[in-house]
A = this chain, B = another copy of it.
Amino acid sequence: MAYELYYWDGIQGRGEFVRLALEEAGAEYIDVARQSGHAMGTGAMLELMKSKHEPHIPFAPPFLKDGDLIVSHVANILFYLGPKLGLAPPDEKLRYVANGLQLTITDLVAEVHDTHHPIATSLYYADQKDEAKARSAAFIKERIPKFLGYFEQVLQQNPGGPTHIVGDKLSHVDLSLFQVIEGLRYAFPKAMKTYMSNYPGLTALRDTVGKRPNIAAYLRSDRRLAFNEDGIFRHYPELDLAP
């Protein structure tokens, strides 16, 4: 049975981390909010979230339905799917290492979101622009190098070799790192142009993942939406400061 992925239509957002894993593995899945028809579309997603009958409703998209089970949160979905898709380390202990790295990516993504929404998700960007500028400046100066420097060190110290972030073969964390680098390059091209040369391991990882046949085919397909200013990674020239 196909996996059902539930995420907002029109943006890559957090759903993209799950899509990349499903696409790399060639798994059968339905991107529910992007389909039309019975029990499909955004309406069906919202209905499920508000359901009074579901035993375990999710707080927010993305979530994955596998038969009766609903699994919510990106890192949790990838922890669940990893072994099924051949994208988790075979050593069970390393799966907790992978999950720790995935959760560090989760934190980075939340900080990226808050660069354009530092005061309230319910307000427009235009209504928190000054605060967004201050938060972006700190994010670019302090947080990007802190996160990327960390991932580079983990890569370089990986006992399985610096081609992968954990173990000696591709995992969901490598795919997510690819997405984070692409997203940061879209949102903050000035800073990333300067920074990336400091991170040869991450640069190579990004290139390797982007060239994998299933990923490359997905990126060319119309299933891959473009980055845009409704998503998590947004390019606002006024926030794109030089580091």
Is A120 interfacial (CB 8 A cutoff)? yes
Is A41 interfacial (CB 8 A cutoff)? no
Whether A142 and B157, one on each chain, are in contact in the complex, defined by CB atoms closer than 8 angstroms, is no
Query: Which of B55, B60, B122 interacts with A159 by CB under 8 Å?
Result: B55
A155-178 vs B, Cβ < 8 Å mask (1 yes, 0 no): 001110000001000000000000
Is A93 interfacial (CB 8 A cutoff)? yes
Query: Which of B96, B158, B159 interacts with A76 by CB under 8 Å?
Result: B96
Name which residue of chain B comes closest to A142, CB basis.
B122
CB distance from A163 to the nearest CB of B (A): 15
Is A9 interfacial (CB 8 A cutoff)? no
C-alpha gap A118/B135 in the complex (Å): 8
Q: Given the interface contacts A99-B73, A158-B55, does A122 sit within 8 Å of B110 by beta carbon?
A: no
Whether A138 and B110, one on each chain, are in contact in the complex, defined by CB atoms closer than 8 angstroms, is no
Specify which chain B residues have a CB less than 8 angstroms from the CB of A73 in the assembled complex.
99-100, 103-104
Whether A154 and B57, one on each chain, are in contact in the complex, defined by CB atoms closer than 8 angstroms, is yes
Q: Given the interface contacts A69-B93, A122-B138, does A76 sit within 8 Å of B57 by beta carbon?
A: no
Chain A residues 40-66 with CB under 8 Å of chain B are 52-60, 63
A98-135 vs B, Cβ < 8 Å mask (1 yes, 0 no): 01100110110010001000111011000000010011
Is A72 interfacial (CB 8 A cutoff)? yes
Whether B59 and A104, one on each chain, are in contact in the complex, defined by CB atoms closer than 8 angstroms, is yes
19 contacts between A and B (CB under 8 A): A55-B157, A56-B157, A56-B166, A57-B153, A57-B154, A57-B157, A60-B104, A69-B93, A69-B97, A70-B97, A75-B75, A75-B103, A79-B79, A118-B131, A118-B135, A120-B135, A120-B138, A122-B138, A122-B142
